[in-house]
Amino acid sequence: MNSLHRRDFLTRLTLATAALATPRYGFSNVSRADEFVEVSTTHGRLKGARSEGVTTFKGIPYAGRISGDRRFRRPALLEPWTGVRDALQFGAPAIQPPRRNEPAPAEDCLFLNVWTPASDNRKRPVMFYSHGGGFVGGSGASGGQDGSNLARNFDVVVVETNHRLGLFGFLYLDDIAGPDFAGSGNMGMLDIAAGLKWVHDNIAQFGGDPNNVMIWGESGGGAKTSCLYAMPEAAPYFNKASIESGPGVRMTPKEVAAETTAMLLKELNIAPKDWRKLLDVPAADLLAMQNKLPFVPPFQEKNRNQGMMRRNYGGFGPVVDGVVLPHHPFDPTAPAISQNKPLLVGWNEDEYTFFAWERKDTEFAKLDFESLPKKLEAQYGADAGRIVDTYRKANPNASAPDIFIAVSSITMMGLGSVDIAEKKVKQGGAPVYLYNFGYKSEKKIPGTDYPMGTPHAMDISFKFNNELPPRDGSAPKESFFGGNRPERFVASRHFAELWTTFARMGKPAAKDVPAWPAYNLNTRPTMRIDATCEVIDNRFSQELALWRSLGKL
């Protein structure tokens, strides 16, 4: 990961996320409807589309205008409407490069989507998902995260938001712009909190229980979930959480955010006292400037007295401003505000193969045990040899590329996940459950004979139960990452049932899956999710001992 420039990483991650959003699951912008369904909300009536046992409402506005003089501020009040508003097409995603099969990005992007089995006043669990794409890309309309199958097969209500991203959502102006712009460095997170409040006020009309809401998200969505878990403004509106392949242990200190703001103003030739000129810069120009600014490195290492600094998704992301985000989400401890809220946290076993795929990196597959230490030296220096020795001892049948993938994957997403689990246990409150997703795709990384395994983002279609045989009985199509093997359907069922049961009860469970013990610091149980699931105690014990000794955990 050290050789990957951060700007290139984020651009490619956004493009790869868009690729995953292609309509492989029959996800289109205009619904095919067996019938239309109307519901009342706090601001007016909505018309959604019902098809195959699920009603979908798309493009629901949950807050008001954020363009013009509302840029970098709290949204304007949402204006009520008269009559019935169509909720049949997705709303605009946040400012970013254009997204396939979605409306053009726009500043005014505060829309959400709802999938429900029925608007019948039943109190179903609500699964409120935050999309990935770091803090700079993605939307609540990405195809792999279509909520239809979760709603249909597990009787839950799924909600996904669009919210501000990049500098539109995370430009820190608090030091120079006055009280109207308080919290500016966290507007993207405050948008999500506003979406949660909308759910609290309205979801009963959609068949959901406002008092049983689970927040969850993958990659950047996992980091967003980490922040929500620590935010006073979000706290009243959710009851449990899941952080998936995106452990947000630490976020941007306000001093660093202020430096980024100063850099932006300098690049735009705007004096700090004239910061209001930012309100008149066209959105496209700000996006172009965002892409020119240097990014925070993928990993900011800790010193031993400071605590782990985990992944920071680019130069713009949530800011530890002492108010909206009072402290780092999981440093030095798990947030007291969510002490009594159960938590799931974990990662995919082969996270790094995603990044090899999107970078067209084939060189790692040619590594041998002579070249592997040299490959790791750029990031780990003199410790590279010790790392290789430890991993070879713990995994005697692993090849050199296997070890490179294992090292890269656990340092990207694993160490932060374990850190979060350990801190949650030490808090002595609600339980935390640690997992690894391990279903192996046989698809090869192009240009190599190396299989994808369990790459970053492959879990999305599995946990949304979008790995299913066709409903019409036709032959299954190849999954984007998941490959062709029919076992993927079983793994998807397990993943989705574990998560929906957790949403319902606060404890994950599924048919044909062993009982999943809460994490503890003695046996350290980890659920490995696959077509056959298993609980593994003290998993990666040798590897984690190594990373602790190196001050990485």
194-218 pLDDT, tens per residue?
Answer: 999 999 999 999 999 999 999 999 9
Helix (H) or strand (E) run with residue 116 in it: strand 111-116
**Strand 240-244 with 208-218, pairing:** parallel
Place of tokens 């004096």: 271
Distance CA 510, CA 499 (A): 9
Q: What is the pLDDT of residues 75-127, one digit of tens each?
A: 999 999 999 999 999 999 999 999 999 999 999 999 999 999 999 989 999 99
Classify domain 345-549 at the CATH topology level. Answer: Rossmann fold (3.40.50)
The domain limits of the chain are 6-252, 345-549
Residues 469, 172: Cα–Cα separation, whole Å: 47
> What per-residue confidence (pLDDT) applies to 295?
58
Q: How far is 510 from 63, CA to CA, in rounded Å?
A: 37
DSSP tag of 275 = G
pLDDT band at 244 (very low <50, low <70, confident <90, very high): very high
Cβ–Cβ < 8 Å for 260, 251 = no
Over range 256-266, report the average pLDDT.
93
Helix (H, G, I), strand (E, B), or coil: what is residue 35? strand
Query: Which CATH entry fits the domain spanning 6-252: 2.60.40.10, 3.40.50.1820, 3.30.2000.10, 3.40.50.2000?
Result: 3.40.50.1820
Domains 6-252 and 345-549 share a fold: yes
CB 529 within 8 A of CB 435: yes
CB 91 within 8 A of CB 162: yes
CA distance 134 to 55: 29
Find the helix packing angle between 384-394 and 372-380, rounded to 10°: 120
pLDDT digits (tens, 9 = 90+) for 513-541: 999 999 999 999 999 999 999 999 999 99
pLDDT level of residue 472 (50, 70, 90 thresholds): confident
The CA-based angle 288-2-247, given to 5 degrees, is 80
pTM of the model: 0.93
Q: Give me the pLDDT at residue 386, please.
A: 98
Helix axes 415-427 and 541-549, enclosed angle (nearest 10): 90
pLDDT in tens, 39-65: 999 999 999 999 999 999 999 999 999
SS3 332: coil
Tell me the mean pLDDT in the region 154-164.
98
Q: What is the mean pLDDT of the chain?
A: 91
Active centre residues (catalytic): 219
User: If you write DSSP's letter for every residue of 438-451 in order, what string do you get?
Assistant: -PPEEEEPTTSS-E
Of 169, 157, 170, 200, give the one whose Cα is nearest residue 42. 200
Alpha helices in 410-531, H assignment, sequence order? 415-427, 459-463, 487-505
